[in-house]
Amino acid sequence: MDFLRNIFSIFFKKNSSVLGIDIGSSAIKVVQIKKKRGRAVLETYGELSLGPYAGIEIGRSTNLPPEKIAEALKDILREAKTTTVAAGISLPLSSSLVTFVNVPIVPEKQIADVISLEARKYIPVAMSEVLLDYSAIPKEDSYSNEDQNDLSKTTEKKNQDFLVVAIHNEYINNYQAISSISGIEPTFFELELFSSIRSVIDQGNKAVMIIDMGAGITKLYIVERGILRASHIINRGGQDITMAISKSLSIPVDEAENLKRIYGLKGGPEYKELTEIITVNLDYIFYEANATMLSYQRKYQKNISRVVLTGGSVLLKGLTDLAKISFQTDTEYANPFSKIETPAFFAERLAEAGPEFAVAIGCALRRLSEID
């Protein structure tokens, strides 16, 4: 595995390469790409579990201090044989508050003040403790309901929807410390949801739901025309499945993790109990996801055209089959490596690994776009 990942590094010399870095709760993923003939080209990539740095099993969520994370980041950069320090780094969704506000249309110079006032209703800390950003959500080209009356149309024209993001300064400071200690030079920090959207969604008018299942939590994003329209966090992920297996079968956590990875939902009659445990936990996640989907469809009178699965914990045997039954719509694994040029002989392996590297690739693509 490590040899195959590092083999890319022998094909390229130092150049205007960039890194995308995804620091998750259970692992760090890095991707290095460069621009060649107008195309993003993969140079190297790698993944490192954080469990051992916290003295716990692989696959478990961690809460490491910046110094430990920087140590792990330096280790994976060395293992992947990266050749640049230019990077974009993702921030966890849990570090932020993401909300949507509807405010009166005002002159551009007043927008920031109006949104700041509105955002205070949702932010539980002093505004001085957060970094606030926002973007306007384009209005619909037409109204979905033909029976809307003139009054509602007039009200709509007088207001504007905004996506508002508030990130606590503590997280920014921690990630700046991690970058400094590890020698990385990021030009931006961005929420992981925007990185995922960039790497797994193509421009289109239809609404798509992304399910990003990590070790500790599962994130849901509904995207339309490349714009985030809804998000939701489910406080359950791959780690919960592992712990349920460990408790139910009275086996060590590392053994439970191995069983989950090897057999998943495809263990057959011999592992019927394992299948039942995993199914119960996935049913909970899919129930919450379905509720989010239905809420969006009722609010906007639009169907979700497909579901895209991403995150390391979706690589569970049999998960897509269960997801298709649950959502009753097209369901597929994310393939972010399709956005970049890769060696043909390695395409199948990269497609399989794609869901794990969606965030890192999304960061790398944005960083590459900054280079003229």
CATH of the domain at 44: 3.30.420
Highest-confidence range of 120-129, 174-183, 338-347, by mean pLDDT?
174-183
Structural domain including 131 reads 96-167
Please check whether residue 195 lies inside any domain of the structure.
no
pLDDT, averaged across the chain = 89
Claim to verify: residue 215 and residue 293 sit in the same structural domain: yes
Please check whether residue 187 lies inside any domain of the structure.
no
Please check whether residue 10 lies inside any domain of the structure.
yes
Given a cut of 70, is residue 8 above it in pLDDT? no
Q: What is the CATH number of the domain that holds 162?
A: 3.30.1490.300
Please check whether residue 175 lies inside any domain of the structure.
no
Query: Residue 166's pLDDT band (boundaries 50, 70, 90)?
Result: very high
Q: Which residue has the higher pLDDT, 366 or 140?
A: 366
Query: Residue 157's pLDDT band (boundaries 50, 70, 90)?
Result: low
Per-residue pLDDT at 285: 96
Please check whether residue 65 lies inside any domain of the structure.
yes
Per-residue pLDDT at 63: 93
Please check whether residue 182 lies inside any domain of the structure.
no
Claim to verify: residue 236 and residue 162 sit in the same structural domain: no
Instruction: Give the end of a domain, one of 121, 148, 167.
Output: 167
Given a cut of 60, is residue 208 above it in pLDDT? yes
Per-residue pLDDT at 367: 96
Q: What is the CATH number of the domain that holds 268?
A: 3.30.420.40
Claim to verify: residue 157 and residue 207 sit in the same structural domain: no
Query: Residue 149's pLDDT band (boundaries 50, 70, 90)?
Result: very low
Please check whether residue 91 lies inside any domain of the structure.
no
Once rounded to an integer, what is the mean pLDDT over residues 132-136? 91
Claim to verify: residue 328 and residue 354 sit in the same structural domain: no
Claim to verify: residue 346 and residue 278 sit in the same structural domain: no
Our count of domains for the chain comes to 3
Given a cut of 70, is residue 12 above it in pLDDT? no
Query: Residue 30's pLDDT band (boundaries 50, 70, 90)?
Result: very high
Once rounded to an integer, what is the mean pLDDT over residues 194-213? 91
**Could you read off the pLDDT of 263-313 as tens digits, one per residue?**
999 988 888 999 999 999 999 999 999 999 999 999 989 999 999 999 999
Claim to verify: residue 320 and residue 212 sit in the same structural domain: yes
In SS3 terms, the chain reads as CHHHHHHHHHHCCCCCEEEEEEECCCEEEEEEEEEECCEEEEEEEEEEECHHHHCCCCCCCCCCCHHHHHHHHHHHHHHCCCCCCEEEEEECHHHEEEEEEEEECCCHHHHHHHHHHHHCCCCCCCHHHEEEEEEECCCCCCCCCCCCCHHHHHHHHCEEEEEEEEEEHHHHHHHHHHHHHHCCEEEEEEEHHHHHHHHHCCCCCCEEEEEEECCCCEEEEEEECCEEEEEEEECCCHHHHHHHHHHHHCCCHHHHHHHHHHHCCCCCHHHHHHHHHHHHHHHHHHHHHHHHHHHHHHHHCCCEEEEEEECHHHCCCCHHHHHHHHHCCEEEECCHHHHCECCHHHHHHHHHHHHHHHHHHHHHHHHHHCCC
